[in-house]
Amino acid sequence: MTALLLLIPVALFLGGLGLVAFLWSLKSGQYDDLEGASRRILHDESLDDEDEEDSQDRPL
């Protein structure tokens, strides 16, 4: 029973901390561009860099 007197406030504090962190992430714009990350992961930048290097090495 005495353990509950400690665990309930700790649980409420951690829940409130999680809620504050979530609200902060909403306010700072973490969820503004949901599709951008999924499109960036499909775009291979290393291939683009190689293409640019190849085009610079070729004579005109």
> Is residue 59 predicted with pLDDT exceeding 70?
no
Torsion over CA of 12, 13, 19 and 24, rounded to 10 degrees?
Answer: 170
Specify the pLDDT at position 19. Answer: 98
Model confidence, pTM: 0.56
pLDDT class for 54, splitting at 50, 70, 90? low
User: What letter would DSSP give residue 28?
Assistant: T
> Is residue 14 predicted with pLDDT exceeding 90?
yes
More confident call, 13 vs 1: 13
d(C-alpha 15, C-alpha 8), whole Å: 11
Domain ranges (residues) in the chain:
2-57
> Is residue 46 predicted with pLDDT exceeding 90?
no
